[in-house]
Amino acid sequence: MSSEIIKVPDIGGSEGVEIIEVSVQSGDTIEPEDTMIVLESDKASMDVPAPKGGKVKKLLVQEGDKVSEGDDILELEIDGEEEGSDSESSGSSEEQESDEQAPAETSQQKSEDSKPKQQKKKSGSSAGGKRTVEVHVPDIGGSEGVEIIEIAVSEGDEINEEDALITLESDKASMDVPSPYSGKLVSLSVSEGDKVSEGDLIGTMEIAGEGGEEDDDASDEDDEPESRDEPEDAGDEDDDDEDDDEAESGGRQELRVPDIGGSENVEIIEVAISEGDEVSEEDALITLESDKASMDVPSPYKGKIVEVSVSEGDTVSEGDLIGYIEVAGSQPRPKKQQQSKSSDKSDQKASRQESARREQPAEEKKDEGSYGGEQAPRQSEEQQRSSASVHAGPAVRLMARELGVDLAEVTPGGPKNRILKEDVDAFVKQVMQGRKDSGSSKTQSPSESGAGIPPIPAVDFSKFGEIEEKPMGRLMKAGATNLHRSWLNVPHVTQFDEADITELESFRKSMKEEAQAQGARLTPLPFLLKAAAHALAKYPQFNVSLHPDGDRVIWKKYVHIGMAVDTPNGLMVPVIRDVDQKGLIELAKEAGDLAARAQDGKLKRDEMQGGCFTISSLGSIGGTGFTPIVNAPEVAILGVAKSQTKPVWDGGQFQPRLMMPLSLSYDHRAVNGADAARFTAYLAQLLSDIRRLVL
């Protein structure tokens, strides 16, 4: 048995033709001329038939991919054709069997016995039952030109199945490509820095066959009897499979975390399902984010979700329970490999019906007007969905962040209300068309602001001197995206003031030893946190967020304050909760703990969420003032620069006073300038006389 890559045949010279249906799946047994995929170009829809029969070992394409002539479709395991011809051309089964068992072989038998060996040599085998196979890049979510950032193996290495071969980094994730076999790496066809796509050759491996050198003769002698027995055995196996399918296809099944490359305690950043949802095989259940990658965990079954055992923010490892699914009665277990031809045809028909059903909403969506006509009912449906419940993959979310698109406003066109890149493209096109039709006279929504800004031109800096390019870290990229979005969407104004902290600093120094005895390091930050909490209580218009629709203001009844922390990996903003209910020592302890864990990269996701207000203190570094960027959806941020001793007139003479520069940036849509001046003045008053903090 050998493997062969089946490729797209001649399709009339068309390039980039979309796959609208995949009619087979891994494990299917197909016959020659059975439909593998259905293509749709601007000229026609066409079925691509299988050129030969066999078992589908690996599917290399998926619905929605675009292919051209010569692209890989699937890897097919093909039975030895020459063995079958031997069985047909030789005499009756009784004569052949007696001939093979006789001690003296005829020249015809020697010729026939040599054919299986020739077949093995043709498939790349050598003495000892070994064969050489090609290792290709598997399905990587449709990404093209993905960079190899690490080669984990070398030629001559002995590797096990699932060992990492290479590491790829795309706009979606960093991911390891595991070995599909155990064996010896014969050749390596890629190097670090290369860009690859699905189906590209990684290298070749020498893997062990079923028998050794000593068993070759015996296996050759048994080939033909086995070929004669195959129809009967296959029939028995089919009957067993059918019985197993009937007994095991339906019912309640567990959904567990699959192999995730050996990672432990990986965080769930999105739960894409809920109880009662109908899911198809390969639909995303949850999205995980580790230090290596963000990855979707697909459903191994088609059916109805009856219980979800995890939630966003949980950490899971391989084998942990995700939930339970009531498997559809007509859906066989994924491990079943044998299917009759009639069931293949019925599955193809059902797949086409499902494809047509999925395509219908997308076609209806194209007919909708731009912000008119059908818009009202669509918006009422969107209002039932929040950004937290939107189903979209990492690449789509990145694309939406870069374009400033609120995914809650995008109509999903993928399976189970999942938003695809095409949906974001269609939304942006619709918004731009609406602006064009209205002559850009209508008020822009937050998702539209910033559109049309000319990009910074690319410059070849190498012509000026030696350069080195380094990739941005994940935290740095995320921070840059958030700051860019805030700068584009928020009309910033900065209010400056100074606070006399002479008495505060004297009190702080006198309490340092007492605080250390309680396990706390008393810095100016706890005083700033406490003063900010008092100011937010007095001026609650700073403790709000604007609703994305621009028509409502969300007033918060809690006081959670974030503090900007400079870390080796980038800027992080852990959040201290209920600041108004905690004392200075408690705040000092919590601030120190969060800052230390931020430096070590050990903060949890929920420890960086829920802030109402942010403090960015550069006092320990220097500077006389700066204009911090609002951490949207908050509406204000306090910047603190280095304190300096200045002469201050007290009415009779100048006195040396320690003055702290304050910079309050705020969202002018939510906060008026007069209120900002009152806020900073009150903050300075509290810091100048800390006795007011106990009132």
Q: Which active-site residues does the annotation give?
A: 668
Spatial distance between the Cα atoms of 259 and 299, rounded to a whole number of angstroms: 13
Task: Name residues whose C-beta falls within 8 Å of residue 9's C-beta, 6 or more positions apart in sequence.
Answer: 48, 51, 69
Long-range CB contact pairs, 283-286, < 8 A, 24+: 283/415, 283/416, 283/418, 284/391, 284/393, 284/418, 285/255, 285/322, 285/323, 286/310, 286/322
Please report where in the chains the tokens 């374009």 appear, as a residue: 403
Contact status, residue 219 vs residue 211, Cβ threshold 8 Å? yes
CB 686 within 8 A of CB 693: yes
**160, 138 contact by CB (below 8 A):** no
Exposure of 174 in the CB half-sphere (CA atoms within 13 A): 10
What whole-number distance in Å separates Cα of residue 425 and Cα of residue 427?
5
Are 77 and 57 contacting, i.e. CB atoms less than 8 angstroms apart? yes
Both tokens assigned to 118 = 């020739």
Distances (CA, A) of 191 to 134, 148, 170: 16, 7, 16
Token output for 603: 């903060």
Assess contact for 594 and 565: CB atoms under 8 A.
Answer: yes
Q: Which residues pair with 58 in a beta bridge?
A: 75
Which tokens belong to 214?
């000593």
Which SS3 state, helix, strand or coil, does residue 492 take? strand
654 strand-pairing partners: 649
**184 vs 206, 273, 605, 683, CA distance in Å?**
5, 41, 41, 69
- By the 8 A CB rule, do 539 and 672 touch? no
Q: Are 682 and 538 in contact (CB under 8 A)?
A: yes
Distance separating alpha carbons of residues 221 and 294, to the nearest angstrom: 51
Q: Residue 185 corresponds to which tokens in the numbers above?
A: 């790496």
Amino acid 411 reads T
Angle between helices 81-89 and 107-122 (to 10 degrees): 170
Helix axes 502-510 and 524-538, enclosed angle (nearest 10): 130
Which amino acid type is present at position 261?
G
Which of 599, 597, 579, 598 lies closest to 588 in space, CA to CA? 579
Residues contacting 590, CB < 8 A, separation 6+: 576, 582
Using left for φ > 0, alpha for ψ between -120 and 50, and beta otherwise, residue 570 falls in left
The CA distance from 56 to 3, in Å, is: 9
Q: Is 53 left (phi over 0), alpha (psi -120 to 50) or beta?
A: beta
DSSP, collapsed to helix, strand or coil, labels residue 430 as helix
